Structure 1
C-alpha cells in the first residue's frame, strides 16, 4: 500500500514546480504586455498620468482583495520604514521606466532591465559582503557589454535614454535587495498593498500639475490595462516563487525578452538590429549562467 504514496509524492512535487514555471511565464507575458501598452498610451498621455493610473489600480485592486479576508490586519507590518522605502524605490523605478519606454523600443528596454540580477551580484559583494566567484564577475562584465551593444551610440536607441534605462536597472536592483530582506519578516501580499498605496500617494503629488483628462474611451481603457496587467504580473510572480524554488523559476523570467520583442514587432513594427539582438542575447546568456552558478553554490 505504500507504493502509490511513494509515487504520488514526486508527482505532486513535479506538479507544483511545473505550475510555478507556468505562473512565471504568465507573469512575464503580463508585465511585457503592460510595458507595451504603456508605450502605446504614452504616445498621447504623459508618463506621470500613466504612473498615477498604474498605481491607482494596484492600490485599489489589492485593497479590494485583502480587505474582506483580513480587515484592518492587512496593514500589519513589522517595519513601516522599510515598506515606505520599498514603495518609493518602486515608484521611482516605474516613472523612469515610463520615460524610457516613451523614447526606446520595448524589446531593447526589457533586455536592459534583465541586467538587474547581474547588478544584484555587485550589491551582494559590496553591500552584503557575499563571496562572488570570478566566473560570476565575468558574467557581470559580459552582461554590461551586452547592454552597451543595445544602447550603443549610432544604434536604434538614443544613448541618453539608454543610460536612463541603466538607472532603472540600478534602482530596480536596490528594490529587489530590499524586497529580499523584507520577505524574512513581511507578508508578500502586505508588501504589495503598501507598494500600491505609496506609489499612488507619490504619483498623486506629481500628477497635480500634469493632469490632462483622457479625451477618448480608448485612452481610458489603455490606462486601465496598464494598471491591471502590471498588478496581475506582480501577483503571478509572487505565486510563481511560492510554488517553485527560485533556482527553477528565475531562468524563465528571461522569457520577457521574447514577449517584448514580439509585442514590439506586432504593435510598433519594430525589429531590433543585428547588434541589438547580439547584445540582448548576451545579457540573457550571462544572466542565466550567473543564476545557475549562484543556485548551484547554494545547493
Structure 2
C-alpha cells in the first residue's frame, strides 16, 4: 500500500509538471484539492455520518490544512522549474528536517548517529542543488521552502494524531485547501480547449486522493517505522516519470545525492524506531 501511494504521488507530480506548463497554477491547485475533498466526503460521509466532522481542535485542523496548501503551492512552483526526480529527492529530506524540529522545538532526544544521518541527507541535497553551479538559481530554493512548511505540517500532524481521527484530519485538510484556493479562483480561471488538460487535472485529483487513502490504510496496518523506508521508493517512481514524460535523465552527481538522501532517511527512520523501542523497554 505504501509503495502504491508513492507511485500515485510520483504520478501526481509528473502530471502537475506537464499541466502547469499550460494551465494557471492556482487553477490546477484548486481542481486537485476540490477533487480530493469531494471524493473523500462522498466515500466517508455515507458510512461515518456527520460525526466524522467532530474535532476538539478545530483551529489546529485549519492551520494544518493551510500548511499543506502552502506545501502544495510550493510543490507546484518547484515543478515548473525542476525535474521531477531531483525535486522529489529534495522533498524527501522532510523526515530528517522533522528530526531537527523534534530536537529543537519539542526537545526530544536525538542521538549522535541520527544527527550524522541528518547531515548526510542535507549533504545529498547540496549535491543535487549544487550552489554556485551554472544550473543553480532562485528556483532551487523553492523545494527547501517546501521542506520547511512540510516539516511543520508533519510535526503538527503527529501532535493532532494523538487525539484526532485520521479520517477527520483528512477531510479538514482537503476542504481547507479547497476553500482557500477558491478565493483566488475567479482571478485565474480560464477556459481549456484541450480535453486532455481536463483529463490530466482530474487525474491529478485522482492520484492525490488514492495516494492519501493508501497511506491511511497502510498506517492503520503497520507502524510508521516499518513503512517509512518504503516511502523513498517515490524517488525511483519520480525519476521514471521524468524519463518517460520529459526524457530527463538525472546526471551522475544527482543520482549520488538521491542515494544519500534515501539511505540516510531510511536509516534515520529505522534508528528512531529502535531508540523508541529501547526507551519503552
TM-score normalised by length of structure 1: 0.90
Match of 2:109 in 1: 131
Retained in 2: the 8 A contact 1:104–1:158? Answer: no
Asked if 1:36 corresponds to 2:25, the answer is no
Query: Kindly tell me: are residues 156 and 199 of structure 1, through their superposed partners in 2, closer, same or farther at Cα, counting changes over 3 Å?
Result: farther
Query: Kindly tell me: are residues 158 and 203 of structure 1, through their superposed partners in 2, closer, same or farther at Cα, counting changes over 3 Å?
Result: farther
Match of 1:264 in 2: 242
Retained in 2: the 8 A contact 1:27–1:234? Answer: yes
TM-superposed deviation, 1:153: 3.8
Choose the corresponding residue for 2:82, options 104, 123, 132. Answer: 104
Match of 2:2 in 1: 24
Q: Counterparts of 2:83 and 2:147 in 1: how far apart (Å)? A: 16
TM-superposed deviation, 1:241: 1.1
Q: Counterparts of 1:279 and 1:59 in 2: how far apart (Å)? A: 35
Choose the corresponding residue for 1:284, options 262, 267, 270. Answer: 262
Match of 1:91 in 2: 69
3-state DSSP of counterpart to 2:183: helix
Match of 2:47 in 1: 69
Asked if 1:150 corresponds to 2:102, the answer is no
Choose the corresponding residue for 2:149, options 171, 175, 179. Answer: 171
Asked if 1:51 corresponds to 2:29, the answer is yes
TM-score normalised by length of structure 2: 0.96
Match of 2:205 in 1: 227
Unaligned runs of 5+ in 1: 1-22
Q: What are the Cα deviations for residues 2-42 of structure 1, in whole angstroms up to 9, with x where unaligned? A: xxxxxxxxxxxxxxxxxxxxx00000001110110111111
Asked if 1:204 corresponds to 2:182, the answer is yes
TM-superposed deviation, 1:66: 1.6
Choose the corresponding residue for 1:186, options 148, 152, 164. Answer: 164
TM-superposed deviation, 1:260: 0.3
Match of 2:216 in 1: 238
Asked if 1:275 corresponds to 2:265, the answer is no
Q: Counterparts of 1:172 and 1:156 in 2: how far apart (Å)? A: 28
TM-superposed deviation, 1:74: 2.0
RMSD: 1.2
Corresponding residue pairs, total: 277
Q: Counterparts of 2:157 and 2:3 in 1: how far apart (Å)? A: 21
Which structure has the larger Rg over C-alpha atoms?
Answer: 1
TM-superposed deviation, 1:156: 8.2
Retained in 2: the 8 A contact 1:105–1:157? Answer: no
Q: Counterparts of 1:236 and 1:157 in 2: how far apart (Å)? A: 36
